[in-house]
A and B are shown apart, each in its own frame.
Chain A
Amino acid sequence: MNSLIPLLVAAPLAGAALLLLGGRALDRFGHWLATGLAALSFGFGLVLFSDLLGRDAEHRTVTTRLFSWVPVNGFQADVSFRLDQLSMTFVLLITGVGTLIHLYSVGYMAYDERRRRFFAYLNLFLAAMLLLVVADNYLLLYFGWEGVGLASYLLIGFWQHKPSAATAAKKAFIVNRVGDLGLSIAIMLMFAEFGSFAFGPVFGGASGASEGKLTAIGLMLLLAACGKSAQVPLQSWLGDAMEGPTPVSALIHAATMVTAGVYLIIRSSAIFDLAPDAQTAVVVVGAVTLLFGAVVGCAKDDIKKALAGSTMSQIGYMVMAAGLGPIGYAFAIMHLVTHGFFKAGLFLGAGSVMHGMNDEVDMRRYGGLRKYMPWTYRTFAVGYLAIIGVPPLSGFFSKDKIIEAAFAKGGTEGWILGLCALVGAAVTAFYMTRVMLLTFFGEKRWQPDAQGNAPHPHESPSTMTVPMVLLALGSACAGGIFAYHDAFLKWLEPVTGHSEGNPPFGSWTVSGLTTACMLAGVGVSYLMYGRSPVPVVPPVGSPLTRAARRDLLQDDFNHAVLVRPGSALTATLVFFDSRGLDGFVNGLAATIGGLSSRMRRVQNGFVRSYALSMFGGTLLLVASTLLVRSF
């Protein structure tokens, strides 16, 4: 059974290699090959899952070692895999949702001349993400981690002829590299502390290390998580990443990439549990991002960017829950999985809308689309109800648990976090209702474009609607199934541990509060966007709205603090290198050159100046011999 674990990764990796090297011959069926291999990986995942279920809860960790990757005295990195309840959950999410996104892309990318390459990159993305979650040591995890970065770079920049896409791809990679810096340093710290960076030894030895070291490791891991999961302060790449084709957004936001940070934190729970300061930092980052993303999501008119703000916010919930420690770990993952369903569904729905609307993304130019795209509308609506947490859909169960856990943290901290989470729930309801109303309700507001092509909204082909329906099913039911008798919690508990904390009030109260906040958000949104016609040209808006449209000035900030001083420094150094350092040496060379050109007048050729230098050298040599003798 263990030998299936490498195959999980190998199947999509082989797909990527075949499609990239196979050439035109694979153009006709390459996309089906890629989809098939993704499905095959999902099949392996199911087999492994049933195998794990057949064991008792305490014996569900399976490891397998393939070969020694980097062996240098004391530094032993193996290509070895670990499958336990946590990685199993991710494997099923990645391959399951990933396969549906592959299927959807068959329709979505049907007319792109570089479709084969697109599917190669999708396969590569799955392979890298799977490697990330089944790696048994941090260096191999890092391999997958950067592989995910590469795949996202290739996919965000898929339409490379668009300068905006190329810029967005580069930005995503470089911002993520800042996070990778954190992961690198964390691994070095582990190696210096434990002499290993494999999961077993590190988690086993954590209790022996000083709290200071563990805090440092934890903070560096958090930095890494901020990069991949687009958490403040490394969130700026996510919005721009919408430059990629829409299925890519679904993949990045639901099944892969942004979930990696949450995985990293929870996988490293043994470290965070012993480093309360690092945990506090995690919670703060999560809470801040939760609100940040929600505010940005309210102001965007671009449907994909509104959803991107929403992702940031929802991942913020997960990170916050992960920072709560054993009270929150399992719920963070539960929300991650349900979010995987509804966010994938929402993005695929958005792609379907764009598909029918000549790639228009401005929601102010949509309106009334429910009549034209019934399946898109229905599935999107399920995703919408799930994400805002309408009972009994998935989001209700998972978000509610996180809010409950935040209050259960206890003390002032618990109150602050709980209130943040409640506010977040209200704002989520507000902006998602806005997306829903602007897109599917109201009057139609689309117009012919500059070339006079009016959009003819139509439903998408079945390769696109079928995945949407399946994801809608997941969005509707997964939460209830997970919450039934705490099934999900019991499944994960052996890995993540669990404690109840001390909630200030019962879970029914929390559910009531959450639902009330959600209804308030829906209500306000309806008053603003549902009752009166929506202007096609956005109103000026309050300063906050204007800032939120600019992503709360994140790029302006980065530009002022990093880019501009960085360019100035580079320019200064370029000047210094050619004038300062080199000027000195040139002066020296000119002197010698002057001498040698005088020599050249006597006899031509460079060999003479070589001889001159030899002569100088001999003098130096004699001098040094005398000098050394006197020591």
Chain B
Amino acid sequence: MSVLLSATCVVPAAGAVLTAALPAGSTEARRTTTKYVALGVSAVTLVLAAVVALRFDPHGARYQLTESYSWIRSFGITFSLGVDGIGAVLALLTAVLVPVVMLASWHDADPAPAAPGTGPDPDTFEGRRRTQGFFALILAVEAMVVVSFYALDVFVFYVFFEAMLIPMYFLIGGFGDRAGGPESARQRSYAAVKFLLYNLLGGLVMLAAVIGLYVIAQDQGFGTFDLPGLTSAIADGRLRLSGTAENVLFLGFFFAFAVKAPLWPLHTWLPNAMGEATAGTAVLITAVVDKVGTFAMLRFCLGLFPDASKTFAPAILVLSVIGILYGALLAVGQKDIKRLVAYASISHFGFIIMGVFALTSQGQSGATLYMVNHGLSTAAWMLVAGFLISRRGSRLIADYGGVQKTAPVLAGTFLIGSLATLSLPGLAPFVSEFLVLVGTFTRYPAIGIVATFGIVLAALYALLLYQRTMTGPVKEGVREMPDLRARELAVVAPLVALTILLGVYPKPLTDLVNPSVNATLSQVHETDPAPAHPVAATSGGEQK
């Protein structure tokens, strides 16, 4: 039995403990040590996650590199891990983003600059353990997210799905953006509580559904939380759920994932959380943690409740389309840069959920790629926005103008982030967005067409933001703005490079993802709608 998957989970977890236990960071040197330790751990995790993705054989078994350890035997709970193409790719995304986020947040958890007489008290947490806490929490989130992507036991998944709320809560509530103004502490704790309550509510509903599923399965002799076992029993009819039970359980699972994703109208926690948290934490929320929600829709909702998935798909698609347009319109109307990015993400999550529930291979492969591409592109966009905000000390769009004149590289990378967000061909998000749209269109043409309007609105919010902040005459407060520093360039460069690479050559990802998508679709007993007048696809005319 390979221990590769558990190593990928244990390394960041152990790293979190280690980072937290390092000597308190009352001096600059100690803080720096802490940061390098955390960064090193995340780099090792990245290597492990990459090895997992490389070792995964797309033509092999559905779940590979499986491991299983007994945990709570009386309830049939085993700590079992395994990976399919989708999980491998998303864990890899997480492992790529965490070091990038750390590097971007390098100084976000330093003690607040000492204003006269209000310096941090060296005896408080604020003064001493802040840096350790911040980086340890990031690693803890990483560990929990990776377990969620690898978990093959419904209960194990649930535990980590819920547990990651705790470090996220502290990251949001404890380490705000310094640009928030006098009200910021209050707003931050409001945002953190709102985040927790929403997600906790979702999680509790899911817990009920998890128990419900177990009870029904146990009645029929499947006293287990083992996902592959349950799905195959459901698929071949050995385990039967009554229609109502399946629908109720589906909704229980789906509700939790839809809160986390977030799907309209359960989205209102996201703008607060992303607005008040540091830019790095905002990226963790939208690019990493929220992806567990959409991933779980694919794996758990479709796998465990195929019929209910089909029953509810049209309604979910309608909600997703509303989310696409609603999020985009709200983004157009924002005055705060980070909230704008948050609403844009809500629009993007609409696309992802639409792709999942269109129940076509283009839609689902597109949705999976979308999770990766949205992670990369939003990270680039949000982190550069964070660099901008840290320079001026304001999140308000109206406080900026003419940045391209004083900080051209910052403006240029921000433009690339904006273009990725509006899904310009050549950049990765285009591939996934178009796949989602096509995949939806072939089954539900009307919904596909309405969703396509999102591409116009995306251009509007992304370019309006760019115009208002970066172009025009140089505003007061922007005049002395320094351009990107080496550390900041090191944050942006890999994101931009990956966004371009995966826009031009996404094949390595699609090769990993396609077989897993096919397996998911066959669980739901769906096939792609056939073309009306299929033409034998010769690749591009005759060679002469």
The residues of A with any CB-CB pair to B shorter than 8 Å are 59, 61-63, 65, 67-76, 78, 80, 82, 136-137, 139, 142-143, 145-147, 150, 153, 157, 160-163, 165-167, 170, 173-174, 177-178, 180-181, 184-185, 187-189, 191-196, 198-202, 204-205, 208-210, 213, 569-571, 573-574, 577, 581-582, 585, 589, 592-593, 606, 610, 613, 616-617, 620-621, 623-625, 627-629, 631
Query: Bound complex: CA of A134 vs CA of B235, how far in Å?
Result: 47
Contacts of A65 in B (CB 8 A): 539-540
A472 to chain B, nearest CB (A): 36
Q: Other than the known A161-B402, A161-B474, A177-B456, what 7 A-B pairs have Cβ atoms closer than 8 Å?
A: A82-B541, A157-B471, A161-B471, A188-B437, A573-B326, A613-B197, A620-B204
- Asked if A63 meets B455 with Cβ closer than 8 Å, knowing A150-B419, A628-B245, the reply is no
Which residues of B are in contact with A by a Cβ distance under 8 Å?
A: 169, 193-194, 196-198, 200, 204-205, 207-209, 211-212, 215-216, 242, 244-245, 248-249, 252, 265, 268, 326, 329-330, 332-334, 361-362, 365-366, 402, 404-405, 419, 424-426, 430-431, 434-435, 437-438, 441-442, 445, 448-449, 452-453, 455-456, 459-460, 463-464, 466-467, 470-474, 504-507, 510-511, 514, 517-518, 528-544
Bound complex: CA of A145 vs CA of B207, how far in Å?
Answer: 49
The answer on a CB contact under 8 Å between A76 and B467 is no
Residue among A178, A195, A610 making CB contact with B535, cutoff 8 Å: A195
Of all chain B residues, which has the CB nearest A164?
A: B472
Partner among A61, A147, A174 whose Cβ is within 8 Å of the Cβ of B459: A174
Task: Give complex CA distance A487, B402 in Å.
Answer: 53
**A188-B441, A200-B540, A201-B537 in contact; A613/B200 too (CB < 8 A)?**
yes
8 Å CB contact of B204 from A185, A592, A613: A613
Known: A146-B425, A160-B404, A194-B533. A75 touches B544 (CB 8 A): no
**Known pairs A70-B431, A150-B424, A589-B193; A581 contacts B265 (CB<8 A):** yes
Which A residues lie within 8 Å of B424 (CB)?
146, 150
Is B207's CB under 8 angstroms from A621's CB?
yes
CB-CB nearest in chain B for A64: B543
A4 to chain B, nearest CB (A): 15
Question: Which residue of chain A lies nearest to B432 when distances are taken between CB atoms in the complex?
Answer: A70
21 A-B interface contacts by CB (under 8 A) = A59-B544, A72-B510, A73-B514, A82-B540, A82-B541, A150-B424, A163-B472, A174-B463, A184-B437, A192-B445, A195-B530, A196-B535, A201-B535, A208-B533, A570-B329, A573-B329, A593-B193, A616-B204, A620-B207, A621-B207, A631-B248
- Cα–Cα distance between A69 and B539 once the two chains are bound (Å): 12
Whether the pair A174, B437 counts as a contact (CB closer than 8 A) is: no
Contacts of B538 in A (CB 8 A): 198, 200-201
Known: A137-B540, A142-B425, A613-B200. A161 touches B532 (CB 8 A): no
A187 with B268, Cβ < 8 A, contacts A63-B541, A160-B470, A621-B208 known: no
Given the complex of chains A and B, what is the CA–CA distance between A61 and B541 in angstroms?
Answer: 9
Of all chain A residues, the one with the shortest Cβ separation from B473 is A161
What residues of chain A lie closer than 8 Å to B541, measured between beta carbons?
61, 63, 82, 136, 198-200
Flag if A569 contacts B467 (CB, 8 Å): no
Query: How many Å from the CB of A151 to the closest CB on chain B?
Result: 11
Given A71-B510, A194-B533, A163 and B463 contact (CB-CB distance below 8 Å):
no
Shortest CB–CB separation between residue B301 and chain A, in angstroms? 17
Contact B506–A70 (Cβ < 8 Å): yes
- B216 in contact with A628 (CB, 8 Å): yes
B365 near A170: Cβ-Cβ < 8 Å: no
Nearest 3 A/B pairs, CB to CB: A195-B531, A200-B541, A166-B471
Q: Which residues of A contact B366 (CB under 8 A)?
A: 72
Contacts A61-B544, A198-B541, A625-B211; is A170 near B441 (CB within 8 Å)? no
**Min CB gap B463→A, angstroms:** 5
Collect the chain B residues with CB atoms within 8 Å of residue A627's CB. Answer: 212, 248
Question: Which B residue's beta carbon lies closest to that of A179?
Answer: B456
B205 touches A620 (CB 8 A): yes
A191 near B333: Cβ-Cβ < 8 Å: no
Cα-based distance from A196 to B252 in the complex (angstroms) = 39
CB-CB under 8 A from B474, the residues of chain A are 161
From residue B524, how far is it (CB to closest CB) to chain A in Å?
A: 15
**Known contacts A63-B542, A78-B540, A161-B472, A178 near B205 by CB under 8 Å:** no
Contact B207 A195, beta carbon cutoff 8 Å:
no
Please state if A628 and B212 are interface contacts (CB–CB under 8 Å): yes
In the complex, the answer to whether A573 meets B505 with C-beta atoms within 8 Å is no
Interface centre among A73, A157, A205, A621 (most CB of B within 10 A): A73
A613 to B329: give the CA distance in the assembly, Å: 34
Question: By the criterion CB–CB under 8 Å, are A577 and B471 in contact?
Answer: no
Q: Which residues of B contact A153 (CB under 8 A)?
A: 463
Q: Which of B207, B425, B517, B544 contacts A147 (CB 8 A)?
A: B425
Query: B460–A174 contact, CB under 8 A?
Result: yes
- CB-defined contacts of B466 to chain A, threshold 8 Å: 170
A74 pairs with B540, CB closer than 8 A: no
**Which of chain B's residues has its CB closest to A73's CB?**
B361
* Chain B residues with CB under 8 A of A573: 326, 329-330, 333
Smallest distance from the beta carbon of B173 to chain A beta carbons, Å?
8
Q: How far is the CA of A620 from the CA of B539 in the complex (A)?
A: 57
A205 contact from B456, B471, B533, Cβ within 8 A = B533
**Inter-chain contacts of B196 with A (CB < 8 A):** 610
Question: B333 near A73 (CB under 8 angstroms)?
Answer: no
Q: Which residues of A contact B208 (CB under 8 A)?
A: 617, 620-621, 623-625
Q: Do residues A62 and B193 form an inter-chain contact, with CB atoms below 8 A?
A: no
Other-chain residue from A71, A139, A574 in contact with B333 (beta carbon distance below 8 A): A574
Give bound CA distance, A69 to B518, whole Å.
Answer: 20
Q: Chain A contacts of B365 at CB under 8 A?
A: 72-73
Residue of A nearest to B464 (CB): A170
Task: Assess whether A73 is in contact with B471, with CB atoms less than 8 Å apart.
Answer: no
Residue from B209, B419, B537 in contact with A624 in the complex, judged by beta carbons closer than 8 Å: B209
Residue of A nearest to B331 (CB): A570
Question: Chain A residue with minimal CB distance to B458?
Answer: A177
Cα A170 to Cα B431 with chains together (Å): 23
How long is the Cα–Cα vector from A165 to B442 in the complex, in angstroms? 40
